[in-house]
Amino acid sequence: MTMSELEQILIGDSAAARPAVILEGLDASVAHRTIKGAPRTIYEELWHIAYWQQKTLDWVQGIETPFPDHASEGFPAEDGANGESWEQLCKRFFRGNLLAAAVARDESRLERPIRCPSRPGYPTRIMTVRAQLENLGAHNAYHFGRIVLLRQIAGAWPPPSAGYSW
């Protein structure tokens, strides 16, 4: 089965390496490594991606999960209190990533309007499922680009399968 461009953006290699390739071969020691000058670790970047991916999945399923009051809520607790291992986080991300791709595959739902809560003080946005998935794809691409850069700086790029080397 051929993937739509929207599915490619979410799980494929539409404009960049697939998420599976970007995360390939990473272990917890590299994922949690603090890189001088970088505001976040790879773990924190992926946690943030998974956080917003779940918000999107809720919204496209009609669950008006509130927008966070503060940006810090979209990242793991600094004290590590979330207790989620790197392996668990990767599994959680990929589960959600496959669900998002399945929603993208269901063309009968893509133009359906959904309610997406906004930042506190702003009105709820009405957008289509497609638009929300496109937002997710753009958001993920941004943060996966940061993960690639962190891997490059850490000397952990390219991944074992070679991925993209530029």
Q: How many domains does the chain have?
A: 1
User: Is a pLDDT exceeding 60 seen at residue 158?
Assistant: yes
Residue 61 falls inside a structural domain:
yes
Does residue 161 form part of some domain? no
Residue 141 forms part of a structural domain = yes
Please report whether residue 160 resides in a domain: no
Task: Report pLDDT for 25.
Answer: 96
CATH number at residue 46: 1.20.120.450
Per the structure, the complete domain to which residue 130 belongs is given by 5-153
- Answer whether residue 9 is part of any domain: yes
Provide the whole-model pTM. Answer: 0.94
pLDDT for residue 79 is more than 80: no
Residue 28, pLDDT score: 96
Three-state SS for the chain is CCCCHHHHHHHCCCCCCCHHHHHCCCCHHHHCCCCCCCCCCHHHHHHHHHHHHHHHHHHHCCCCCCCCCCHHHHCCCCCCCCCCCHHHHHHHHHHHHHHHHHHHHCCCCCCCEEEECCCCCCCCEEEEHHHHHHHHHHHHHHHHHHHHHHHHHCCCCCCCCCCCCC
Tens-place pLDDT, residues 82-141: 689 999 999 999 999 999 999 999 999 999 999 999 998 999 999 999 999 999 999 999
In a domain, 74, yes or no: yes
In the prediction, which pLDDT does 90 show? 98
pLDDT value, residue 164: 60
The pLDDT tens digits for 26-36 are 999 999 999 99
pLDDT for the residue numbered 166: 54
Domain presence at residue 164 = no
What is the pLDDT at residue 12? Answer: 84
Domain membership flag for residue 107: yes
Quick check: 163 pLDDT over 80? no
